[in-house]
Amino acid sequence: MNRDQFNKEVNKKLHQNESVDTEWSGDVSFSSLEKKIKENHKASQNAFRPLDEKQVVKKKAKAEKIKKSKADKSKESSVSKAEKAPVSKPVRKKSKGFAIFMAVWCSLLILAIGVFLFKFYHFLEDYEKVYQDSLAYHEMDEFLNNFADGDYDALYSMVSQKPEITKFESEENVKAYMKKMLSGKTIRYNEAGESTDKIPVYYLTADDYIIGKITMCQSDMKRSYDLPIYSIDTFEFYEEPEWSVSVQAYDNCSVYVNGVAVTPEYIYRIDLPKEKHFEGFAQLPLTKYYKVTGLYEQPTVKVVNVFDQEITPTLNHATGVYETPLSVPKEVEDEMIAFAKQAVDTYAQVVCREINDSNLDEVFTKGNPIVKDIKSNSENLKYFPNHKTTETEDKIIEFIPYTENAFFCEIEHTQHMLIYGVRPRDVVTDARYYYVKEDGNWKVCAITY
């Protein structure tokens, strides 16, 4: 303790003693005064004792007490450890075993973590592969391979709702139509707006033109990790039959489209014969119009007449109708034309007064008014005096064999004459003749000019 601290302690004690002195006024006897003086003297001595000595004593006592307490605790701890630990194992060996244990434990922990991370990585890798395989567009990629391979048989078999095919075509025509629509084009697919995860929907396009629609569904079976398996539920192919055919033929003919006979339900129009000059002499065939629609390819058309002759109709581009000409066997046609030439020549000779008008009975029907008119009116005859027909020439303008018993023929008949043996002259007879068979022989039934 330094001087300043000592003086501070002394002053403090003196102030404490002053409080005692204030009580003297209560007892002023000598004995009491003597007692007070002794007490103050003793207090003064105690006050002036060095303060550091007291503190040292006090600190020593406290230190002894702490030391004793620590010794007791150390003794108790030593006894406890001695009881718990085997006497044969020193402390150094125990520390070394613990270090080995920790090293082994840490190694096992690191190994376990490594195995876990390895398996987790392979789990993620496998899950990603399975997930990617489960996506619906992979199925679409597989589906497009049919287009790349040109396997139209497989494509057609996958169409959910097969197109309506008329009896004039088959599945092969539809496949050919599909090939025509898709061959050489870029086939793509685009997800439709109504597509969902459970029901994916895609549109098929060929050069950006929509040609079909694919709807998928989830299979009852699942992949690993409960991921779905998709399959094609429906395949709609937007077919549009672009061909139709109209055929005009006569009721004594059979019409065929793609080799299949066209039955009466395809008739949409029937015309009566327009030629009236055969009335009362022969029955002309009706004109029928057939129409077949819904064809995927341009059809072939043929007509077979009553003589079992195959006829190829001619397309009238103005009307879009295949028109069938009337026809007869070649030998019948030759017979008709031969008689037509004979009849016109006979008529021309009678008119020019080269032969008698009675020859008309051989080429006209019985009681024909034309013959009666010529015979009764000589003005219908022409007279060229002193003439001679040296040569005749026939030019067929039009020939229509309506049936084997009736035909029409327009012939331009020219008579090359010499008047008075030196002057040439051509006399032309041009008329429209109508012929029928009467009693098995050809006759003229009508003439128009």
Residue 367 inside a domain? The answer is: yes
Residues 231 and 248 in one domain: no
Q: Is residue 78 part of a domain?
A: no
Query: 196 with 288, same domain?
Result: no
Whether 335 and 419 share a structural domain: yes
Tokens of residue 314, six digits: 């001619």
Query: What is the SS3 assignment for 321-369?
Result: EEECCCCCCHHHHHHHHHHHHHHHHHHHHHHCCCCCHHHHHHCECCCCH
Residue labelled with tokens 């006829």: 311
For residue 303, give the amino acid letter: V
Q: Quick check: 266 pLDDT over 90?
A: yes
- CA atoms of 9 and 23, how far apart (whole Å): 23
Count of the separate structural domains present in the chain: 3
Question: Would you place residue 303 in the very low, low, confident or very high pLDDT band (cuts 50, 70, 90)?
Answer: very high
Q: Which domain holds residue 307?
A: 243-323
Q: Which residue is listed with tokens 């898709």?
A: 182
Residue 47 lies in a domain: no
**In whole angstroms, what separates CA 134 from the centre of its chain?**
21
Q: Tokens for 321? A: 């109708």
Nearest to 275 by CA among 379, 408, 90: 408
For 358-385, write each residue's pLDDT tens digit. 999 999 999 999 999 988 887 778 888 8
The answer on 211 and 311 residing in a single domain is: no
In a shared domain, residues 261 and 226: no
Q: In percent, how much of the chain has pLDDT > 70?
A: 79
Domain boundary, last residue among 277, 299, 323: 323
Residue type, 225: Y
Q: Both 316 and 356 in a single domain?
A: no
Q: Which residues contact 256 (CB under 8 A, 6 or more apart)?
A: 262, 301, 302, 303, 304
**Domain identity same for 296 and 358:** no
Question: Is 338 among the domain residues?
Answer: yes
Give dist(CA 290, CA 266) in Å, integer: 5
CA 235 to chain centre: 8
pLDDT at 368: 94
Q: Are residues 372 and 435 in the same domain?
A: yes
Residue pair 368/250 in contact (Cβ under 8 Å)? The answer is no
The confidence score (pLDDT) of residue 343 equals 96
Checking if the pLDDT of 165 tops 80, the result is yes
CATH code assigned at 356: 3.10.450.50
Do 339 and 438 belong together in one domain? yes
3-state secondary structure of 252: coil
* Residue at 260 is within a domain: yes
Domain presence at residue 304: yes
Considering the domain architecture, whether residues 334 and 402 belong to the same structural domain is answered as yes
Say if residue 412 is in the same domain as residue 350. yes
In a domain, 35, yes or no: no
User: How would you list the strands of the sheet with 441-448, edge to edge?
Assistant: 387-403, 406-419, 423-438, 441-448
Kindly tell me if the per-residue pLDDT of 424 is higher than 90: yes
- Chosen domain end from 187, 221, 237: 237
How high is the pLDDT of residue 151?
83
Residue where a domain terminates, one of 286, 308, 323:
323
Let me know: does 36 contact 42? Beta carbons within 8 Å: no
pTM score:
0.63
Compute the mean pLDDT over every residue in the chain, rounded to the nearest whole number. 83
What pLDDT digit, counting tens, does each position of 22-52 carry? 443 444 445 555 566 566 656 555 544 554 4
Please state, as a whole number, how many other Cβ atoms lie within 10 Å of the Cβ of residue 341: 16
Q: What is the pLDDT of residues 55-112, one digit of tens each?
A: 555 666 676 676 666 666 655 555 455 454 454 445 555 577 788 888 888 888 888 8
Tokens of 365: 């029907």
Confidence of residue 12 (pLDDT cuts 50, 70, 90): low
pLDDT bin (cut points 50, 70, 90) of residue 404 is: very high
Domain membership of residue 82 (yes or no) is no
Strand pairing category for 423-438 and 441-448 = antiparallel
Same domain? 185 vs 216: yes
